[in-house]
Amino acid sequence: MKKLTIISIFAMLILTSCKDGKFLTFDVSDETTITIPNSLLPFDLPFDIPTPDIPTDSESEFEKNDTKVDLVKEILLKKLSLTIESPADETFSFLKSIHLYISTDDSDEIELAWKDDISSSATSIQLELTNKTLDKYVKSDKYKIRTKVVTKETLFHDVDIKINMTYRVTADLL
């Protein structure tokens, strides 16, 4: 009888922990646009491109996915792509390297993604990703993206580039 009770208690603990251990994963996307200005500066020198703050709607996104901010376990960058919006005939052949950094007013800046030695005649490229946890950035009301680029030729016109970011969120259910 004592053995049956211990087994019953053990089984209840396992079942309870499985129920509490349920989690879900879903994607959240953000985008912004940067402009690489025309420049008569010499190429092959790094320079920063200002990017406006990116507002997040994370609380709403989490609620749509049956969770809430305090139940989020981890947020990682799943994909980051750059697409030239204008001029229409421009490619990434002018770009030598690009590094993106993320920060908030309350958090230190960390590197988000990069691509070096770009030799692409495409109008869209995928960046290499860090696998740093981004919870405090994506959970905040807004975050900043700082972009550092090195060009390999002088630009005689502005180039507008759309940054598309997809984050993978892992959270407990409500």
**Gap between the Cα atoms of 14 and 69, Å rounded:** 27
| 1 lies in some domain | no
The boundaries of the domain holding residue 29 are 24-172
Q: What percent of the chain has pLDDT over 90?
A: 59
Q: What pLDDT digit, counting tens, does each position of 111-134 carry?
A: 999 999 898 889 999 999 999 999
Give the residue-averaged pLDDT of 140-166: 92
**Gap between the Cα atoms of 22 and 13, Å rounded:** 15
Domain count for the chain, please give it.
1
Q: The domain spanning residue 130 has which CATH number? A: 2.60.120
Give the residue-averaged pLDDT of 36-62: 82
| 38 lies in some domain | yes
Give the residue-averaged pLDDT of 42-49: 79
Q: Residue 139 contacts by C-beta under 8 Å, 6 or more apart in sequence?
A: 56, 58, 69, 72, 75
Structure tokens at 147: 């972009």
Query: Where is pLDDT greater, at 37 or 82?
Result: 82
| 11 lies in some domain | no
Given the structure tokens 């981890």, which residue do they identify?
74
| 68 lies in some domain | yes
| Helix or strand (DSSP H, E) at 76 | strand 72-86
- Residue 145, pLDDT > 60, answer yes
| 6 lies in some domain | no
| Helix or strand (DSSP H, E) at 128 | strand 128-129
Confidence of residue 6 (pLDDT cuts 50, 70, 90): very low
| 16 lies in some domain | no
Q: Which residues pair with 74 in a beta bridge?
A: 170
Confidence of residue 21 (pLDDT cuts 50, 70, 90): low
| 17 lies in some domain | no
pTM over 0.85: no
| 5 lies in some domain | no
